[in-house]
């Protein structure tokens, strides 16, 4: 949902996809994070993982702002997903393109957040080269089979410009959906 001067954008995806890093790249202040020691090294070999949420904020030149929320990636924290998704204007789904369960992750998060196409969605695939069109095409085709026709973009969440491209793409979708509602 969007207030007159703020957007709420949700970053979601499996553990290790880069949600905390992406929000940290954009936030005007330090990102608020609920990272804890990762006890599920089998799923993702990283030291820390988000247990509750990540939060950041971007102030825009016109005085408005974008609130950035990140979901925990482990399914055991799934109860947080609908809480964080409440009133989100749109969702950025981040996926690890190297993960062997890429398509299973896509299915899980599309089921949880696509809302029958009612919520604007952008998919960012990390850890692939920008010209790895095979994985981008595979994800795009799986989404199209669900009647979800959304942008799928190669992204390096360590690069601010890449993350900004995801947000700008999502904001364009949000604006377009609001224009459609105004025409009705």
For the stretch 97-118, pLDDT in tens is 999 999 999 999 999 998 767 8
Give every residue of the chain whose pLDDT is below 70, as ranges: 1-4, 35-36, 38-42, 44-45, 48-49, 116, 181, 184
| Separation in Å, CA 97 to CA 76, 126, 134, 153, 163 | 22, 5, 11, 11, 16
Q: Are strands 48-59 and 32-37 parallel, antiparallel or unpaired?
A: antiparallel
d(C-alpha 114, C-alpha 19), whole Å: 17
Domain 6-183, CATH homologous superfamily name and number: P-loop containing nucleotide triphosphate hydrolases (3.40.50.300)
The tokens describing 184, both together, are: 């009705």
Closest by Cα among 89, 144, 150, 142 to 124: 150
The predicted structure's pLDDT at residue 180: 73
The pLDDT of residue 3: 47
Q: What is the DSSP letter of 159?
A: S
Give CA–CA dist 9/35, Å, rounded.
20
Please check whether residue 54 is in contact with residue 27, taking contact to mean a CB–CB distance below 8 angstroms.
no
Report the distance separating Cα 86 and Cα 44, nearest Å. 27
């Amino acid at each position: 949902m969007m207030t007159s001067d703020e957007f709420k954008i949700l970053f979601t995806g499996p553990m290790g996809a880069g949600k905390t890093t992406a929000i940290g790249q954009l936030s005007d202040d330090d990102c608020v994070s609920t990272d804890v020691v990762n006890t599920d090294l089998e799923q993702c070999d990283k030291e820390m993982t988000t247990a509750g949420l990540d939060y950041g904020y971007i102030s825009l030149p016109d005085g408005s702002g974008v609130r950035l929320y990140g979901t925990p990636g482990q399914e055991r924290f799934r109860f947080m997903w609908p809480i964080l998704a409440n009133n989100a204007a749109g969702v950025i789904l981040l996926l690890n393109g190297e993960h062997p369960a890429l398509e299973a992750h896509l299915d899980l998060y599309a089921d949880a957040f696509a809302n029958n196409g009612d919520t604007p969605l952008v998919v960012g695939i990390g850890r692939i080269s920008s010209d790895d069109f095979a994985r981008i095409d595979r994800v795009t085709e799986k989404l199209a089979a669900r009647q979800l026709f959304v942008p799928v973009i190669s992204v390096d969440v360590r690069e601010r410009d890449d993350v900004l491209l995801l947000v700008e793409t999502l904001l364009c979708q949000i604006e377009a959906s609001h224009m459609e509602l105004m025409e009705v």
